[in-house]
Amino acid sequence: MLGFVLYRVQQEPELRSPVLVTGIEGWVDAGAVGSGTAMHIGQQAEVLVTFDIDQLLDYRSRRPILDVVDGAMKEMTWPELAIRWVRAPERDVLVLTGPEPDLRWHEFGDAIAELAGRFRFEASVCVGAIQAAVPHTRPTPVLATASRPGLLSDDSTIPAGLLRVPAAAINVVELRMGELGIPSVGFWGQVPHYAGGPYYAGMLAVLERVSQHLGTSFPAGELEERARTQRQELDEAVAASPEAVEYLTRLEEIADQAGVPSGESIAAEVERFLREASEGGGSSPLPGS
């Protein structure tokens, strides 16, 4: 049993139709859309399960934060990977948030499967995002995945054909839930590749899809105001450069004509992101900005 090795259960309440929502930092979290959405849902929630970070993270790639006050080392803040318990009106929602594990993905998947049995998960929703050539002036496109047909609404956008890209630890969660027969879906926003930092419009779009799918209302709260402010900032940045205006216009034309993206086109976007990240570019700014 993994319970005393990889995670610790802090409390074990009676749950009503519990579902797991997973959004973790790292790969497949462009614009912090997945982790930001999950943290928004789980804010002010009680901790249910904590994971042993020492076994899952490489601290050399994701270092703890050290506070030094007047020359004295005062405090070390460690990353936390945890499941929090949200008492929604319709059901209980368990939210898995924190940094993506660097190590022990097989054991991490086994731990999630063990917890699914222990807490009797009825469904699973994974959330994240990828960078794409989409304009910020259009609604955020949201791609969907599902462990079996019939789980998604008819208007869901499902990638066509074969999609072969580098995997993330969150994909382990969705796969393991499906293997256990637990209805499992994923909602993946497409974030403008030129938008740096958290992308709040993407969080709103994914939050709406999660709410619709689970039949549970999650208030948008401060995300709406942050999205409006960010939209204004991006509009102003584009307007300052004729080249950027031309580029954005082209993206809008492509978006207005686009249908369901193929696996090949999505894979090409992921490969472009990987190439730019390896060159130190991260997300690309608008031309001329």
pLDDT band at 70 (very low <50, low <70, confident <90, very high): very high
* Structure token pair of residue 97: 């948030």
The mean of the pLDDT values for the chain is 88
pLDDT band at 277 (very low <50, low <70, confident <90, very high): very low
Residue 263, CA distances (Å) to 39, 83, 120 in order: 29, 32, 33
pLDDT of residue 44: 84
CB 144 within 8 A of CB 174: no
pTM recorded for the entire structure:
0.86
Q: Is 70 exceeded by the pLDDT of residue 281?
A: no
Q: Which residue has the higher pLDDT, 213 or 154?
A: 213
Give residue-wise pLDDT tens across range 21-35. 999 999 999 999 999
pLDDT band at 267 (very low <50, low <70, confident <90, very high): low
CB 173 within 8 A of CB 280: no
pLDDT of residue 154: 77
What proportion of the chain, given as a percentage, has pLDDT over 90? Answer: 69
Amino acid at 273: F
User: Per-residue DSSP letters for 179-206?
Assistant: HTT--EEEEEEEEETT--S--HHHHHHH
CB 100 within 8 A of CB 220: no
Determine if residue 122 is left, alpha or beta; phi over 0 gives left, psi from -120 to 50 gives alpha, anything else beta: alpha
Q: Is 70 exceeded by the pLDDT of residue 282?
A: no
pLDDT of residue 128: 97
* Structure token pair of residue 128: 């994240």
pLDDT of residue 259: 55
d(CA 39, CA 179): 26
* Lowest model confidence (mean pLDDT) among 59-68, 113-122, 132-141, 256-265: 256-265
CATH dotted code for 11-62+74-278: 3.40.50.10900
Average pLDDT over residues 26-55: 95
Average pLDDT over residues 139-143: 93
Q: What's the start-to-end Cα distance of the chain, in Å?
A: 54
Which residue bears the tokens 């637990």?
A: 182
pLDDT of residue 250: 87
